[in-house]
Amino acid sequence: MAECHPVGYQWVMEARARGAKVFHVDPRFSRTSATVDRYLAIRAGTDIVLLGALINYVLSNGLDFREYVLAYTNAATLVNGDFRDTEDLDGLFSGFDEETGRYDPSTWAYEGDVPEEEEPVEGGGHHAEAAGSDSYGARGAGASASPPSDPTLTDPRCVYQILKRHYSRYTPEMVEELCGIPPERFHELAEAVTANSGRERTTAWVYSVGWTQHSVGVQYIRAAAILQLLLGNMGRPGGGIMALRGHASIQGSTDIPTLFNLLPGYIAMPHAHRHDGLDHYLEQEGADTGWWGNRRAYVVSLLKAWWGDAATEDNDYRFDYLPRLTGDHGHYATVMGQIDGTVKGYFVVGENPAVGSANGKAQRLGLANLDWLVVRDLMLVETATFWKDAPEIETGELRTGEIGTEVFFLPAASHVEKEGTFTNTQRLLQWREKALDPPDDCRSDLWFYYHLGKRIRQRLGDDEIDRPVTELTWDYPEIGAQRDPDAAAVLREINGTAADGRPLASLRELKPDGSTSCGCWIYCGVYADGVNMAARRTPHTEQGPVALEWGWAWPANRRILYNRASADPQGRPWSERKKYVYWDGTKWTGPDVPDFEEDKAPDYRPQEGARAQDALAGTDPFIMQSDGRGWLFVPSGLADGPLPTHYEPHESPVRNALYGQQANPARRTIDRPENPYNPALSPRFPYVYTTSRLTEHHTTGAMSRPLPYLAELQPEAFCEVSREMAEEIGLENGDWATIVTARAAIELRVLVTGRVRPLRLNGKVVHQIVMPYHWGYSSGGVVTGDVVNDLPSIVLDPNVYIQESKAGTCDVLPGRRPRGRALLDLIERYRDG
Partner 1 sequence: MGGGWLSRWPVIRQLKGEDGRGRAARSARTDALRPRVEDADTVARSVCPYCAVGCGQLVYVKDGKVTQIEGDPGSPISRGRLCPKGAASKQLVTHPGRQTKVLYRRPYGTEWEPLDLETAMDMIADRVVRTRRETWQQTHEGHEVRRTLGIAGLGGATLDNEENYLMKKLYTALGAIQVENQARI
Partner 2 sequence: MAEQRMGFFTDTTVCIGCKACEVACKEWNDVPDDGFVFRATSYDNTGALGASTWRHVAFVEQDGRWLMSSDVCKHCTNAACLDVCPTGALFRTEFDTVVVQADVCNGCGYCVPACPYGVIDRREDDGRAWKCTLCYDRLRGGMEPACAKACPTKSIQFGPLDELRERAAKRVERLHAEGTTQARLYGANPDDGVGGTGAFFLLLDEPETYGLPPDPVVTTRDLPAMWRWAGGAALALAAGVAACFAGRKP
In this chain, which stretch among 374-382, 493-501, 512-520, 712-720 interacts with partner 2, using CB under 8 A? 712-720
How far, rounded to the nearest angstrom, does the alpha carbon of residue 797 sit from its chain's CA centroid? 11
Which of 19, 62, 401, 501 binds partner 1 (CB under 8 A)? It is 401
- Rounded Cα–Cα distance for residues 653 and 809 (Å): 7
- Rounded Cα–Cα distance for residues 431 and 551 (Å): 7
Give the residues across from 582 on adjacent strands.
Answer: 589
Please work out, in degrees rounded to the nearest 5, the angle formed at the alpha carbon of residue 201 by the alpha carbons of 199 and 206: 125
Q: Is 255 in the site for partner 1 (CB under 8 A)?
A: yes
Q: Is 734 in the site for partner 2 (CB under 8 A)?
A: yes
Report the SS3 class of residue 18: coil
In this chain, which stretch among 219-227, 445-453, 587-595, 747-755 interacts with partner 2, using CB under 8 A? 747-755
DSSP per residue, 242-289: EE--SSTTHHHHHHTT-STTEETTTEEPPBTTT-SSHHHHHHHSS-SB
**Site for partner 1 (CB under 8 A): how many residues?**
164
Cβ contacts of 64 within 8 Å, gap of 6 or more: 58, 230, 231, 232
Which of 24, 43, 296, 331 binds partner 1 (CB under 8 A)? It is 331
Closer of 280 and 760 to partner 2 (Cβ): 760
Within positions 130 to 159, which residues make up the interface with partner 1, using CB under 8 A?
A: none
Among partner 2, partner 1, none, the one that 34 touches (CB under a kind-dependent 5 to 8 A) is partner 2
Amino acid at 521: W
Q: CA torsion, points 455, 456, 458, 461, in degrees to nearest 10?
A: 170
Within positions 635 to 694, which residues make up the interface with partner 2, using CB under 8 A?
A: 694
- Say if strands 552-553 and 428-432 run parallel, antiparallel, or are unpaired: antiparallel
Closer of 563 and 784 to partner 2 (Cβ): 784
Q: Is 713 in the site for partner 2 (CB under 8 A)?
A: yes
Q: Is 703 in the site for partner 2 (CB under 8 A)?
A: no
Least separation in angstroms between residue 368's CB and partner 2 is 30
Q: Are 622 and 17 in contact (CB under 8 A)?
A: no
- Rounded Cα–Cα distance for residues 722 and 754 (Å): 6
- Rounded Cα–Cα distance for residues 420 and 253 (Å): 13
Closer of 601 and 782 to partner 1 (Cβ): 782
Least separation in angstroms between residue 539's CB and partner 2 is 16
- Going through 366-477 in order, the beta strands assigned E by DSSP cover 372-377, 406-411, 420-423, 428-432
Least separation in angstroms between residue 259's CB and partner 2 is 31
Which of 45, 356, 772, 785 binds partner 1 (CB under 8 A)? It is 356
- Rounded Cα–Cα distance for residues 824 and 239 (Å): 50
Q: What share of the chain is helix, strand, coil (3-state, %, to 5)?
A: 30, 15, 55
DSSP 8-state class, residue 202:
-
Q: Is 585 in the site for partner 1 (CB under 8 A)?
A: no
In this chain, which stretch among 59-67, 145-153, 455-463, 821-829 interacts with partner 1, using CB under 8 A? 455-463
Among partner 2, partner 1, none, the one that 669 touches (CB under a kind-dependent 5 to 8 A) is none
Q: Is 772 exposed, middle or buried (0-12, 13-18, 19+ CB in 10 A)?
A: buried
Q: CA torsion, points 34, 39, 40, 42, in degrees to nearest 10?
A: -20
Q: Is 4 in the site for partner 1 (CB under 8 A)?
A: yes
Which of 16, 388, 508, 723 binds partner 1 (CB under 8 A)? It is 388
Of 333, 327, 331, 334, the residue nearest 132 (C-alpha): 327
Which of 153, 487, 505, 616 binds partner 1 (CB under 8 A)? It is 487
Within positions 773 to 792, which residues make up the interface with partner 1, using CB under 8 A?
A: 780-782
- Rounded Cα–Cα distance for residues 282 and 278 (Å): 6
Least separation in angstroms between residue 422's CB and partner 1 is 5
Within positions 259 to 278, which residues make up the interface with partner 1, using CB under 8 A?
A: 259-260, 263-264, 269, 272-273
Q: Is 64 in the site for partner 1 (CB under 8 A)?
A: no
Closer of 535 and 731 to partner 2 (Cβ): 731
Closer of 33 and 516 to partner 2 (Cβ): 33
- Rounded Cα–Cα distance for residues 111 and 115 (Å): 10
Of 497, 545, 539, the residue nearest 521 (C-alpha): 497
In this chain, which stretch among 168-176, 341-349, 601-609, 806-814 interacts with partner 1, using CB under 8 A? 341-349
Among partner 2, partner 1, none, the one that 435 touches (CB under a kind-dependent 5 to 8 A) is partner 1
Among partner 1, partner 2, none, the one that 31 touches (CB under a kind-dependent 5 to 8 A) is partner 2
Closer of 45 and 252 to partner 1 (Cβ): 252
Which of 414, 515, 669, 682 binds partner 1 (CB under 8 A)? It is 414
Q: Is 23 in the site for partner 1 (CB under 8 A)?
A: no
Q: Is 455 in the site for partner 1 (CB under 8 A)?
A: yes
Amino acid at 159: V
In this chain, which stretch among 94-102, 284-292, 465-473, 727-735 interacts with partner 1, using CB under 8 A? 465-473
Within positions 183 to 212, which residues make up the interface with partner 2, using CB under 8 A?
A: none
Q: Are 227 and 202 in contact (CB under 8 A)?
A: no
Q: CA torsion, points 606, 609, 615, 617, in degrees to nearest 10?
A: 20
Report the SS3 class of residue 197: coil
Of 821, 829, 778, 786, the residue nearest 396 (C-alpha): 821
Cis peptide upstream of residue 120 (ω within 30 degrees of 0)? no
Of 94, 93, 97, the residue nearest 647 (C-alpha): 93
- Rounded Cα–Cα distance for residues 661 and 640 (Å): 13
Q: Is 469 in the site for partner 1 (CB under 8 A)?
A: yes
Least separation in angstroms between residue 318's CB and partner 1 is 10
Least separation in angstroms between residue 6's CB and partner 2 is 4
Q: Is 754 in the site for partner 2 (CB under 8 A)?
A: yes
- Rounded Cα–Cα distance for residues 612 and 672 (Å): 46
E strand or H helix at 667 = none
Which of 197, 202, 289, 357 binds partner 1 (CB under 8 A)? It is 357
Within positions 183 to 202, which residues make up the interface with partner 1, using CB under 8 A?
A: none
Q: Is 325 in the site for partner 2 (CB under 8 A)?
A: no
Among partner 1, partner 2, none, the one that 416 touches (CB under a kind-dependent 5 to 8 A) is partner 1
Q: CA torsion, points 376, 377, 378, 380, in degrees to nearest 10?
A: -100
Within positions 604 to 663, which residues make up the interface with partner 1, using CB under 8 A?
A: none
Within positions 8 to 67, which residues make up the interface with partner 2, using CB under 8 A?
A: 9-10, 13, 17, 29, 31-35
Q: Is 348 in the site for partner 1 (CB under 8 A)?
A: yes
Which of 348, 407, 782, 826 binds partner 2 (CB under 8 A)? It is 782
Q: Is 2 in the site for partner 2 (CB under 8 A)?
A: yes
Please give the C-alpha separations between residue 220 and each of 217, 225, 490, in angstroms, as whole numbers: 5, 9, 36
E strand or H helix at 384 = helix 382-389
Q: Is 7 in the site for partner 2 (CB under 8 A)?
A: yes
Among partner 1, partner 2, none, the one that 751 touches (CB under a kind-dependent 5 to 8 A) is partner 2
DSSP 8-state class, residue 790:
G
Closer of 342 and 586 to partner 1 (Cβ): 342
Give the residues across from 484 on adjacent strands.
Answer: 479
Within positions 521 to 550, which residues make up the interface with partner 1, using CB under 8 A?
A: 523, 537-541, 543, 545, 547, 550
Q: Is 346 in the site for partner 1 (CB under 8 A)?
A: yes
Q: Is 710 in the site for partner 2 (CB under 8 A)?
A: yes
Q: Are 405 and 372 in contact (CB under 8 A)?
A: yes
Q: Is 712 in the site for partner 2 (CB under 8 A)?
A: yes
Q: How many Cα atoms are found within 13 Å in the side-chain-facing hemisphere of 716?
A: 12
Least separation in angstroms between residue 421's CB and partner 1 is 5
**Residues at the site binding partner 2, with contacts judged by CB under 8 A:** 2, 6-7, 9-10, 13, 17, 29, 31-35, 694-696, 708-716, 718, 733-734, 749-751, 753-755, 782-783
